[in-house]
A and B are shown apart, each in its own frame.
Chain A
Amino acid sequence: MATTTKRKALLISSELCIGCRGCQTACKNWNQLPGQKTTNTGTMQNPPDISATTYNIIRFSEVPSQANAVRWLFVSRMCMHCDDAGCMKICSAPGALYKTEQGAVAFNKDKCTGCKLCVAACPFDVPRYDAQNKIGKCDLCSGRIAEGLSPACAKTCPTGAIKFGDRADLIASAKKSGYGKVYGETDLGGLGAIYAFRDAPRIYGMNESPAIPESVIFWHNVLKPLAIIGLGGVVAGALIHYAAIGPHKDEEVK
């Protein structure tokens, strides 16, 4: 069993993705997720978005091209496994969302209370809830990686468009392959799903400046401490008041 404490990651290289969706199926297979009832809406992308029963989809987009009539882009959309994860920050149920040793943001449906706060706090709109109101999302196949295997998507990918490995190595290899910037290298403390793009990430439908909502940060940095200071303060105040001033004394009523 080759578990290391080194942070693991997926490196997604859209240039190598052929849109075969082997990863999408392998994900469902490994996680034993049911097929959804879908319709063709005029695009190959289906199911239209990730859900509690679809942790990974290939997003198909047609964008203008200089050389040809069109460019056809494929990119895997799944949980980004932020180091500083908004979902984990806001989650109120201990153990419902947790970081694995390898840096994956994993979940435990039994612990999830179904509050859906994580949905609002995620900069990538990833967490989804199932029919039982429990969270479902990519967990980087943490069960597999704990056993020294690679996640099902990376294992299946025929072209190496999804590679799994030590995060630092993946970043280094992407840079060596001539990618100037790796998407997610530093965002949110560094993502666990990093992307190598030759173009602006925006054309792949990526959020170019992902961030945890400011209200969540304010809540986390200000309100949470205040909730302790406030209660502590008032209790201490009462004690001091009682000791220093004592019970209320009224003048006799005339």
Chain B
Amino acid sequence: MTNHWIDFKNADVILVMGANPASNHPISMKWVMRAKEQRGAKLIVVDPRFTQTASKADLYAPMRSGTDIAFLGGMIKYILDNNLYFKDYVVNYTNASFLVNPDFKGPGELNGLFSGYDEKARKYDKKTWGYQMGEDGIPKKDPTLKSPNCAFQLLKKQYSRYTLDKVSSITGTPKDKLEAVYKLYGSTGKPNKAGTELYAMGWTQHTVGTQNIRAMAIIQLLLGNIGIAGGGINALRGESNVQGSTDQGLLFHLLPGYNATPSAALKDLNAYIEKFTPKTKDPKSVNWLSNRAKYITSYLKAIYGTAATKENDFGYEWLPKTDEGMNASWLMLFDKMFKGQFEGFFAWGQNPACSSANANKTRQALGKLKWLVNVNLFDNETASFWKGPGMNPKDIQTEVFMLPCASSIEKEGSITNSSRLAQWRYKAIEPLGQSKPDAEIMNELFLKVRELYKKEGGKFPEPIMNLAWNYGKKVDIHKVAKEINGYYLEDVYDNKATPPKLLGKKGELCATFVHLQPDGTTSCGNWLFSQSYTQKEGKVINMMARRGKTDPTGLGLFPEWAWCWPVNRKIIYNRASVDMNGNPWDPKRPLLKWDAVKEDPASKKPGTWVGDVPDGPAPPMAKDTGKYPFIMMAEGKGALYGPGLADGPFPEHYEALECPLEESLMSKQRINPTIKIFGGKEDAFYSCDMRYPYVASTYRVTEHWQTGVMSRHTPWLLEMQPQQFVEMSLELASEKGIKGGDRIKVKSGRGEISAVAVVTSRFKPFRIGGQTVHQVGMPWCFGWQYPNDPKAGDSANLLTPTVGDPNTMIPEYKAFMVNVEKI
């Protein structure tokens, strides 16, 4: 999230699209309802289904699954056409004025493609997407926003095609609803209005997932809603600690702190730093990531300790690397596993036999392994895949091991929620039976592996032998947390000050990532978490364990409750909440304010920010030393034009891989041209196919957690949602002769499940390009194993397709085609 959970209460308009917080993040609705109750805020919900959240909406608009970009593109057009955008903000804080390479062409000109498309490689050559650079090495700008090559005009051009009629015919949203949503949300473009957007997997789980979010980011920048209280674009994370897991590098392409995973082509640390350090010549740009060398070096020092020296490139060579261009995402791994290219697999805290898109393929893939280790609270469909439906145990050679692990209440540690808030939690009870905390299991596993290496040797022993792994025989989790925070390995000085000022004493915990060094004198497991477990005047403080309840701004920042990254900044890009002189755009919601008189605690000079922790301590932009607020962007500006993504600098509407239309109503390019097409028989997909005529979407229910491994075993939850169900409209049900409570069969090109029909007015058929399109929806929390009742149903992911977003490879769980039949 750019903002945080409590901040929803500060919004004037809340747009929920791609999420259903009332079901899946109930506690967040506390703040949504508070905004409604106390500020008279308006809640807009856009969803194919009238959800629990929609039931609380002031304005609900139905929309066919997978057409968010059309919907949002229409909103961009509406905002631009009606001058609802926040001009000062757009001109000063975004790249609207940047001039783009004149050779750049958009989908309007190229039949749905951007310039530079390579059809064979299904990739763009982004050469034409760059900015026009001035002689000073800074992108050329046109502050009048009139130049046809400026980002603003290109944006206008791109979305001029997204007329109400066109959008309505694609999305199926009635025109009056579209207009009502655009008008209401567009009303937050005024300086004293704040609009926030809440999304979740309804946006990410599409072949255009990243661009869905980009489209909203553009809207929020146009309306001046980024960086302000009550604004932002807020990912409601699907698991309590999924933010923490991505922060700590759980994804294949990232090391902790969002440092990229090196590829084999990057031979040494310098090459890595060179590639991943963005550059700018603009003196007003902070370009925070220019500090990359400090973060990666301190990271290497943290993991290889004393073995990491300047001479050996701090052990860079020992880091695991991907092959150049290799994508090691989920779908790719399981594709390889399916092809027999893996020997073993640790299924750690997951249940891919139910959670994986195209679960049949996944289950088959597990059978090609030699061994499988299931680390979980319970046996699940993954560990027991060999005795699942359609499996013949005799044919399966996979040896399965079960390592029972402790639940969250049986161990101590931090957990990082969507607000980037790392909260320390304590152990309530000892782990039951033979179960152990994950860290213990990992510790034992590693120590054993190292022992074997020591005894028997092996290929490439250095990463194992040199790893700094000193958490004790029984893991002291505080040691891990401190290592993540980082240490001063020497006395570290600020050499820019005269005389050099001591930043930290050798052996002490780092105070902030600002102190990290590129020369190996600091260690830090994750620069973003530097300050989380720190030392002040010699005293060690676990910031994550703080429980202060003061709220000085009244905006719900609660700066003394636990600790959030970065450096306890509650709202990212918060310097965009003030004007050039440092005064809040909205004096009634003063997130930050420049106080020219008050002494800055660091520099001891007059002039400091009051409020949230400012995003970069630079003074207001109007001052000589002022800096742009978007410090994570090389240019320092919010990106209306975003040339970094695989599928274009602007979001463009493409249909889902499986869709009900022969041709897209937007352009000749029906699907996202850059997605990877899996060609296997098991990966079959069908668009506009009589056999699979209905759009389907999967989702979660409040009562079950992910694939339901934890919740299905909880009788209180199971009794509320005991069986797989499929929701459908009265119209479709009557067409198919189905009544509520009937048992039905749902079939896609990849599998089929049985379910109970829930016939409801909450689904309505859509009118798409003059034809009627039905949509159905179903949860994916069930599995064949428990409850041991064939009528409880199996995973809805037996139906979903093997395809992902080209940027993230997140599978398209939210839009695919099925048929439903009464059994």
A residues bordering B, Cβ < 8 Å? 15-16, 18-22, 24-25, 28-29, 34-44, 46-47, 54, 62, 67-74, 158-160, 177
Contacts and interface: CB of A to CB of B under 8 A. Distances in A.
A-B CB proximity, top 6 nearest? A35-B715, A42-B740, A20-B26, A18-B22, A42-B741, A70-B761
Most buried by A among B62, B721, B756, B761: B761
A40 to B, nearest CB: 4
Nearest to A161: B33
Contacts of A19: 22-23, 52, 55, 702
Interface string B106-145: 0000000000000000000000000000000000000000
Given A18-B26, A62-B761, A71 B55 contact: yes
Contacts of B596: none
Contact of A21 (B60, B703, B714, B725): B703
B719 A68 contact: no
B24 to A, nearest CB: 9
A68 B29 CA distance: 21
B29 A46 contact: no
B7 to A, nearest CB: 16
Contacts of B742: 42
Interface string B699-742: 00011000000000011111111110100000000000001111
Contacts of B740: 41-43
Nearest to A57: B720
Given A47-B719, A158-B30, 9 more contacts: A20-B23, A24-B720, A39-B722, A40-B758, A42-B741, A42-B742, A44-B721, A72-B54, A159-B30
A73 B50 CA distance: 12
A20 B33 contact: no
A127 B265 CA distance: 73
B717 A25 contact: yes
Contacts of B717: 25, 35
Contacts of B759: 42
A197 to B, nearest CB: 15
B60 A68 contact: yes
B50 A18 contact: no
B764 interface: yes
B716 A46 contact: no
A18 B737 CA distance: 31
A22 B721 contact: no
Contacts of A28: 716
B56 interface: yes
A55 to B, nearest CB: 12
B688 interface: no
Contacts of B62: 69
Contacts of A44: 721, 758
Interface in B752-802: 756-762, 764, 791
B782 to A, nearest CB: 11
Contact of B721 (A46, A54, A160): A46
Contacts of B27: 158
Contacts of A24: 720
Contacts of A36: 715, 719
A21 to B, nearest CB: 6
Nearest to A18: B22
B720 A46 contact: yes
B53 interface: yes
Interface in B18-57: 22-23, 26-27, 29-30, 33, 37, 50, 52-56
A29 B52 contact: no
A35 B55 contact: no
A74 B715 CA distance: 22
5 contacts: A36-B715, A46-B720, A69-B761, A69-B762, A73-B55
Nearest to B733: A42
A21 B33 contact: no
Most buried by B among A15, A29, A72: A72
Contact of A40 (B37, B52, B55, B721): B721
A21 B702 contact: yes
Contacts of B791: 39
A113 B268 CA distance: 82
A209 B817 CA distance: 49
A34 B715 contact: yes
Contacts of B50: 68-70, 72
Nearest to A46: B720
Interface in B278-322: none
B55 A37 contact: no
A26 to B, nearest CB: 9
A28 B718 CA distance: 13
